[in-house]
Structure formats: structure tokens, C-alpha cells
Structure 1
Amino acid sequence: MAGRGRGSGVLALCVALLVGCGGPSAPDAAPGDVRRLLDRRAEAVLDRDAAAYRATGRPAEAYGNLRDLPLASWGYRLTAFDRDGARATATAELRYRIKGYDREPLSTTRTLSLRERDGQWYVAAERPAKKATEQLWDQGPVTSVRGDHSLVLGVGRGDRATAELRAYADLADRAVPSVRDAWRGKWPGQVVVLVPKSLDGMAGLLGAPASGYQGIAAVTTGEAGGSGQAPADRIIVNPEAYGVLGAFGKQVVITHETTHVATRAHTSRATPLWLSEGFADWVGYRGTGRTAAQAAPELRRAVQEERLPAALPEDGDFGFSGDSGKLAQAYEGAWLACRMIADQWGEERLTAFYEAVGDHKKRPGAVEDALRDVLDLSPEEFTARWRTYLRAEFG
């Protein structure tokens, strides 16, 4: 009897101290708490509830940066959580949609620094994750201006923010009908324009070195091939290069970029830059009355100095390398290639050629097949005609 009593006591002690005997520890409740914290933070953004946002932590100024952003959705999904006592670092996927413009949410990755106080978690800081691009509100308070066919979002404009952004909206509102007239394909017929404070701000939005965009007035981001399951394209302005342009040049740039938005569904990896950039410039200059000599001064100079290009511009020629003349000549040559097609075969044939090239899944053979099927030319014949066209325009 005594032996059985001692054995039962040992068993009872081991059961009571199961964790100490090697059993599993209780799961950390912190990740679930943080998920709920991020849900409250997202709800506060959508509800425009500053007090509720501040209750989730800092930085409080981030709410002010977002206040003028027209949102249809905003939500976080926790993807990683690393705790060190009362401190933690979380990684979350942020998905948001601009009301009236984005067909699907745009996704970006955020890093959040967290602190625990009195059993509650709070956000101490939120920033783009490593290798993720900045968002416009990371650069300051966003000001929004709506046009008839456009939404312009800007930061760092000061007291004249609304007036400056209204000027961009007016340009975009003129660009959309011009593009619709030139490109009859299906597209939303509206654009989102982002205006950062500086070239560095533009580079932050693109996640690339600023040096690559010094001579570029604007770029358009979007999904090549246009699956229909992507957000609206964004036209991102370089205010430094754009600011030195005259009224005519600014309109051409915005019309050019709007063309990229319109043609996105038919622009693929198979589309060479001479075609996508040349077509966009063709739409930009279409109906303006500008002659080749007026719109292509660098190429005109080259031809008159007997430096006629031997071939159409390569993709690499469209990157800014410090030689602004070379970059301008690439764009001018591409524009005149598309202009030649419109002049000699008609505008409908030009758009058919663009679509035929983009319908290929890969670059090899795409231009060759489209030249044969749409224009009944070989690449060598097309290049020869283009060079003859340049001589005729600038001779």
C-alpha cells in the first residue's frame, strides 16, 4: 500500500508540472493581437477616424498624409512576426484600391515596428519593406484633385498644391479624348497621375536610382499585357524635367503617357521600345501640326551631318545615360517610324501593326511576323524605307 502511494504521488507531481517535464508551451497570443491591431488601423483609415488611428500607435502624422486619398479599400495581411520581449517587427502585405479608378487592389509590402505596453500592442513606425517601393503618402501629405477623366495626387506642393495639381488634371483631361480618337481599342478612358516633390521622390516611387530618370519627364507603370486583374496604371511625373517644358511640351508628355495607359493590354514583352515609345509620341504629336524638323531637332541634325541611323533604336537607347542628345534621337527616330506607317499605310494599319506585335508572347519573331502580315515587308525593307523617309523629311 505504501509503495503504491509513493508511485501515485510521483505521477501526480509529473502531471501537475507537465510543462516542466517537457510538454508544449502555450502559444504566443501576440500575432493574433497584432492582426487585430492592423485591422483596427485599416478601419480607421477607411473611416477617416483620426482618433481611432492614433489609438493604434504612431506615427500619427501618417494619418494626415492619407487623409485626402480617395480610398475604396485598405487592408493589411500579416505575413511575418518577430518578437523580442515587449518589442516586435512585423511584415504585412498592404492592399488598397483608389475609389473610381483601380479595378483591383494594388499590393505593397510594409514593415511595422511594434511596442507592447500594459498588455496591448501599438505601432511605433510603419515604412516600406526592404526592396518595396515607397508610396506617395510616405513622402508627405497627399493632395488630390479630380478632373473629368483624371485623378491627380501630389505631395510637397505647399500652399499652391491645388492650383498646381489642377493644371495637371487639365492636361490629362485634354489627353484622354485625343488618345481615344487615335486608339479605338478598349480601355478605361481615365488616368491616375502621381506628382512627387522631386526627382528623388519619383525614384522612390519606382524603386530605382534617380540617375536613371534625370532626363525623363514622366513614366507610366502598369502590368504589361493587361490581364484585367491589375490596378489602374499610374503616370508618375518627374517634376524637375517636366517643369522646364513649355505648355506644348507638357501636353505632349501627358498625352504620350496616357497613350501607354490606353495601349497597355496590347503591349507585351514582345513589343520593342521603339514601337511603344514611338506610337505614344505619334499620338502625342498627332493633330498638332508640328513638322519633323520642329519635333525632331537632334535627328534632323544627325541626318544633315550625314550621320543617318543605320537601324531603328534598340531598347537600351531609351535609358538616360547622361547623353540627352542620344536619348532624344532615339525617341525622335521611333516617332518617325510610327509616323511613316501612318502616312504611307494609314492610321488603322499602324494600330493593327501595334496590336499584332503585342499579341506575340516573346520578342523573337514578333516584329518580323507583324511586318509581313500587316505591312507586307521584311525587317530589312522596313528599315530601308524608314531611312529613306528620314532623308526626305530632313534633306
Structure 2
Amino acid sequence: MARSRPSRPRSGRAAALVLLLLLGGCADVGGEGGGTGARVRAVLDARGGAVRAQDRAAWLATTAPGAARERAGTVFANLDALRPSAWSYRVTSVRPEGDRAAVRATLSYRVQGYDSAPVTVARALTLRRVSGRWYVSADKPAPGASQQLWEQGRMTVVRGADSLVLGVGQSRGKLADVAALADDAVPAVRRVWPERWAGRLIVLLPASLDRMAALLGQKPADYRGIAAVTTGELGSAAHVPADRVTVNPEAYEELGPFGKRFVLIHEATHVATRSATTAGTPLWLSEGFADWTGYHGSGRTPRQVAPELAEAVREGEAPTALPTDADFAFAGDPDELARAYEGGWLACRMIAERWGEPKLRDFYRVVGEHEGREGAVAAAARRVLGVSEGELVGRWRGYVREQLA
């Protein structure tokens, strides 16, 4: 999810001629659905070429007349504003049914300047034959796949210095405010994570919580009260698509200026540390480190940052173990979720205070370098901090009581 832009489109007349050859003059070749499969692939090839060439007429020429063409016009306007540097379909199956064909395909695209590898999404398309030519009449997420923001209505694109903010149902002014906070988040994260990373953010701002959930392929209830979520692939930043920060507009709007700034820094931290985060990294560390970065230099006290955990300590229910990954489930008890985040933050704060910030960064990296989850924290604690995992947890338990009693 290439850096290079394709050449500008040839003249509209020449492009239209190529399109007619693709749609009407394609020889019957083997493959899915015989000749139908070849014609379907030709239509989708032309569709991808239209996006890359920013040619609206060519895009609409691949779309069935009527309501489908009207919807396709909105989608093209969104893609034209986004300006993807790559866009192509790989057909995986074609099922002809008379003058219709049900098609499954993998869409690959890249956002120039952000994605170092293709974003791939599964699509379910319907093509219809009219007067001997095939047209796309529907292009939707395949079952189990999530929606894309450009499908949710007219999209506004705001480009910041280090951010790309995409919104549907949001004013340009609000998106510009988010872009400004995202631009400020990049140097804030660099100050505490000076490792090499792209230093650029893609932020998605849908119209509602329901629309946010559709982008993530989850139930809306799972994200109620969650201000933002970062999604991405683990691995080297040079070989994966850019992370997407998806904002819940309902929860985000309830935050004050500090809260909104904190959210963007927290999510930017996940983007920055992505290449050092692996299956061996527990959530208490990845979420705790992101919170630690967000609160870094704010002057906020542990009791201000960890009110739920402070109440548990006062009631004699101080935690005895670091939070598990299950404690971070969005759909679980909100108080337990808050205590999990607070516990992870206090663990990272303790390491930074007692061993130093460079050691906290080293600890994060070494945990991620361990093969598998089992023993990752123990190995990093011994190698970086010079203590056993049990000693680390014991010191954290004491630190929680000391800071919150």
C-alpha cells in the first residue's frame, strides 16, 4: 500500500478509443467464465487505468448507466481528491449469470507519499452486459471485508505538513484542526521516540460511530467511548502500508483541547513504533508507551492520569499483576479498560523514571525482537534493566501504591 505517479492521461478521444477496444473488442480467452472472464478483467483494468490517469470520463464509461453511474461519480470525485499513485484489481473469480456476472477481486492501491506497499482489500463486484458491453453496476466490500471511507459519501481531503486527513460529513475547518494537531503530534513523538520512522500520518474522520465501525469491520458498540484507533500491519515500515488513524467523531468531540492533542500523539506513537512492535509486544507495553508519550511533559500527576486505579488502591484492591491483553478489550468493562491503560502507563513511567528514558525505549525494542510472546518481557527485563520479570512486576506493584495511595 509506488511512489511514482503514472504519466498524465492521453487525450480524452484516444483514451475513449482504448476503452472501447477493451470493452467491445476483447477476444474470448480462457480463464474464469471463459470469454466473460477476459472481458471482466478488461473492464476492471480500464477502471484502474482511469483512476491512475485521473480520467473521470473513462471511469464512468466502465460504469452501468443509472443510479450506479451517479454513485460512481461521487466515488471518483473522492479518489480524484485523494490522488492514489496506484490502483488495480486482481480478479479472483467470475460467476456468469446470463447478462450479469458476480466477481470477486482484490483491489490494491497506494496513497502517494504515505504507503510504501500496497493496501489490499477484498471486493465483490457485479457487472452487467448492456448491448454487448460489460459495465460495473456494483462495487462493494467482499463479505467480511471492511468499507473504505471514499464509499461513505462525499469526501473532503486536507493535506497538512506531515498529515493527510480524510473526512466524510465533516467541515473542512474541523479537518484542518485535526491536521494541525496531527502535524504537532509528529515532533512530539520524535522527541521521545527518535528512531527512524516516516513521520507522516493518515487520519480518517467518518461521519459517525456507526461509519467508523464499518471502516474497521466491527460492531459500533465495541468502539463507543473510544476516541481513535490505529490500524496497520506489523513489520518494517519500508514494506507495509501506512497505518490509518480512524477517529470516532462522537467521542473525539467530547474531548477538550488537551484531550484531542493527547489522542493524536497517542495514535502517532503507535505509527512511530510500528516497526518495533511485534506479536511478542504485550498491550500493556504498547498502549502504556503510547500513553506515556501523550502525557510526556504535561505536568499531570499520577492521580490525575490514573483515577480508576487510584480508587482501586484506596479501596485496598491494588493490582497484583500487569494488565493482560484481555484487559484491553474495547467491548469489556469500561472501568477495567481504564485501569488497564493506567497500569500500562504507570509501568512505562516507572521504567523511564528509575532506569531512564533511553532504557524504556531499549526495553520496548528488545521485547519486540524476541521470538514469540513467551518470555519476551522476562528476556528484555534481564537484558535491558538487569532485573527478573518478577522483580519488575514487584517494583511496579510498589510504584502503583506509592504513586496513588
TM-score (norm 2): 0.88
User: What SS does the aligned partner of 2:215 have?
Assistant: helix
The alpha carbon displacement at 1:80 in A equals 0.8
Calculate percent identity across the aligned residue pairs: 52
**1:93 aligned onto 2:106:** yes
Find the counterpart in structure 2 of residue 165 from structure 1.
Answer: 175
Find the counterpart in structure 2 of residue 39 from structure 1.
Answer: 45
Between structure 1 and structure 2, the one with the greater Rg is 1
User: What SS does the aligned partner of 1:68 have?
Assistant: helix
- Aligned partner letter, 1:133: S
Find the counterpart in structure 2 of residue 19 from structure 1.
Answer: none
Distance change in 2, residues 1:387/1:378 (3 Å): same
Find the counterpart in structure 2 of residue 120 from structure 1.
Answer: 133
Alignment of 1:1-395 (within 5 A): 28-58=34-64, 59-60=68-69, 61-65=71-75, 66=78, 67-157=80-170, 161-226=171-236, 228-395=238-405
User: What SS does the aligned partner of 1:73 have?
Assistant: strand
Structure-1 separation of matches of 2:58 and 2:389 = 63
Distance change in 2, residues 1:26/1:232 (3 Å): closer
Native 8 Å contact 1:70 1:99 kept in 2: yes
CA-to-aligned-CA distance 1:288-314 (integer Å, 9 cap, x gap): 111111111111111112111111111
User: What SS does the aligned partner of 1:310 have?
Assistant: coil
- Aligned partner letter, 2:181: L
* Greater than 3 Å deviation, 4+ residue runs: 25-28
- Aligned partner letter, 1:329: R
The alpha carbon displacement at 1:362 in A equals 0.3
CA-to-aligned-CA distance 1:90-109 (integer Å, 9 cap, x gap): 11111111111111111111
Structure-1 separation of matches of 2:333 and 2:143 = 32
Structure-2 separation of matches of 1:36 and 1:386 = 61
The alpha carbon displacement at 1:222 in A equals 1.0
Structure-2 separation of matches of 1:285 and 1:336 = 11
- Aligned partner letter, 1:184: P
CA-to-aligned-CA distance 1:218-260 (integer Å, 9 cap, x gap): 1111112336311111111111222211110111111001000
| Alignment: residue pair count | 368
Structure-2 separation of matches of 1:111 and 1:209 = 21
Distance change in 2, residues 1:32/1:244 (3 Å): same
User: What SS does the aligned partner of 2:81 have?
Assistant: coil
Native 8 Å contact 2:182 2:264 kept in 1: yes
User: What SS does the aligned partner of 1:130 have?
Assistant: coil
Distance change in 2, residues 1:26/1:323 (3 Å): closer
Native 8 Å contact 1:93 1:108 kept in 2: yes
Structure-2 separation of matches of 1:48 and 1:226 = 31
Structure-2 separation of matches of 1:225 and 1:90 = 31
Q: For the aligned residues, what is the CA RMSD?
A: 1.5
Structure-1 separation of matches of 2:292 and 2:248 = 21
Native 8 Å contact 1:45 1:63 kept in 2: no
User: What SS does the aligned partner of 2:90 have?
Assistant: strand
- Aligned partner letter, 2:191: D
Native 8 Å contact 2:283 2:324 kept in 1: yes
Structure-2 separation of matches of 1:325 and 1:131 = 30
Distance change in 2, residues 1:291/1:26 (3 Å): closer
CA-to-aligned-CA distance 1:198-231 (integer Å, 9 cap, x gap): 1121211111222221132111111123363111
The answer for unaligned runs of 5 or more in structure 2 is: 1-27
CA-to-aligned-CA distance 1:297-338 (integer Å, 9 cap, x gap): 111111112111111111011112352221111101100100
Native 8 Å contact 1:62 1:137 kept in 2: no
